[in-house]
Structures are given as structure tokens and as C-alpha cells.
Structure 1
Amino acid sequence: MSDVEQSDSLPGVPDAFQRLWTPHRMVYIRGEGKPASTGECPFCVSPQRSDEDGLVVARGEHAYVVMNLFPYSPGHLLVCPYRHVRDYTDLTTDETREVAELTQQAMRVLRRVSNPHGFNLGMNQGEVAGAGIAAHLHQHVVPRWAGDMNFMPVVGRTRALPQLLGDARSQLAEAWGL
């Protein structure tokens, strides 16, 4: 073990706590990577990539399903129109229908793949309402299990996720057509 890994070589008082380091979350916490223009919008860029690189689970004619890069729980999906629109009232009838249908299908697939006990569904309209990327409408589909959240998000500002995004994307994409 290196000197850095030995608690007696570091300043401070060692304690009994284990550390779950999630430095990748600093990008989200600092607000980095938020799009300044449509060309930088991750919800516009993602469907232009391969499904694996863009974390796309399923594609429709007017909307698509993508993994949330900063998930609340394993399998957290986003349903996004391809068109760059900010507000739910700006969706066409076809876009509204397909976002709803893809949301329903996402719930069915998540039930088959990971058997959640419930779901949180929602859209945050505007930054003041909690939208991380307010410029491009997206519907959250968050699977939930009894006892799935603990003190970590509140005390440690950390979420412990037992599955990698790529693995979850592969399982969900494979189950989408069943």
C-alpha cells in the first residue's frame, strides 16, 4: 500500500468511515458542460452518435430514449424529442404522442429488466424548476425500489449506483424490442 493510501500518513484524524469517491460528479455540481448553443446541446448531439456512444436505448420517429449521464438510480432514462424545444407546449401533436408512448415503453422495459417497485416520472420546465438542461425538453423515467436511497445523497452529496451506464444501456436496449 502506498503512503497516500495509509491513513496514518495523512493529516487529520483517521475514522471508521469508508470513502466512495465520485469525482466525475464535479462536472455536474459545477454546472460544466451545460450547452451555450443548440450545437452543444447533449440532447441534440447524442442521437447523432452511435447508440452505444450516445447512450441511446431506443429511437422513434420524433423522439428517443437515452440514459441519464447523472442518474438518480440505475436505469434512469430520459425521453427526448429530436427537435430542440424548451417547453412542453412547443411540442407537436406527434412529438407529444411519441414522448408519451416511449415513456410507457420505458416503464415496461425497466419492469422486465430490473423489477422496480415504482417510478418517478417528470419534466422540469426551466432552471428555476430544476431543469439541468432547460433548453431541451426531456422527460425523466426514474425507476425506484423500496429502500433504494439512503443518507448518501443528503449527507455525502453522492449517489451509490451499482451498475455502469453502458451496462444498463445494453440491457435496456436489448430488452426494448421484446
Structure 2
Amino acid sequence: MTLSSHVNFLRRSINFQLRNLWRIRQFIDQNTCHLAVLALISSRLDYCNGLFNSLFGKDLTRLQRLQNNAARLVFAVGRRTEASNLLETLHWLPVRQRVLFKILLYVYKSMQQLSPNYISDYFTVYVPPRTLRSSSDTNRLAIPRRSHRMTGENRFHIAAATAWNSLPVDIKSAATTSAFKSMLKTHLFS
């Protein structure tokens, strides 16, 4: 099962919105265009994007092109303008990092008991079988065993636990959700 048909539907829908916004771009200022793009395009890219963790390169590239075109629309520049600088100016994470951001936010909320039980039940804190001098990270998650190599790595709880364990300790031990979001976004930009 792939998400290619969903990505194709999303591409058609976002391209329709982009074309309509390009038609009126000359009549609106940059801030208004930015707000319109956030409401009409970024919201569609972010909706259920935790599922996009299992996307293959081609579909992910298609979604990234849509985000690049949206950034070009905000700045009213041509197709040949490098989009990575525009994304950085707008403080938009690329699509892959947006997916990772959303997944790690779910994990953080479940670790802080801020999420529903059906999400929290996926994660268990890793307890080493013996005490180690190097085990200063008490927020590590146990990574479940993989049943099938191809599908197992892309499962939500496996991908989330792996990504969570790769985060620095200071980000995982953030005191508030807003502090966690801020530190995580800075980490993903670097």
C-alpha cells in the first residue's frame, strides 16, 4: 500500500490553489499572500503528514516542489529562484523535516502524558538490563522488534522511537511544549 494516489490528489488540489493565488498575487501584499498560503497550502501539506513518513523519494519530491512553489509565490519570484533560501527566510521546514517535527511532537506529548492513551501505548521508556556509567539519557525509548524489514521501519512507533532516540538530551528534556517546539525546529533547521 502506497500513498501515491493521495499525493497525486494533494498535488492537484494545491496546484489549483497556487494557480488561483498567482492570478491575484499582484493585488495583494506579501504578508497577505503569506497568510493565504499558510491557510490554503501549508495546512493541506500538514494535514495527517505523520503518515508521510513512509513516502518514497518520488512522492516526497513532489510534495517538496509544491512547498517550493508556495514559497516562490509568497515572494513573487520566478521558477528559477532557489527555493531553499526562501524557505529559510519564511522559517518553513522542508517537507521531510515537517513530517519528523510532527512525529517527534507526538512522542514528546506522550512522554509528558499530554496525548491520548492510544498514542502513549505505543511508547515505552527503555530500561537497560544493568546500570551503565554512560546512561545519562533517561528519556530513551525502547524500539520494538521489526517483523518485516520493508514495512517495519516505516511503522509509526518504530520510526518515532528511532527519531526520538537520536535527539539530543536537552531537547528531549524540555520543560514545556513551546520550548520543545522551538528547540526542535532549531535542531531540524541545522
| TM-score (normalised: structure 2) | 0.24
Q: Could you say which structure has the higher strand fraction?
A: 1
Structure showing greater relative contact order (alpha-carbon pairs closer than 8 Å, 6 or more residues apart): 1
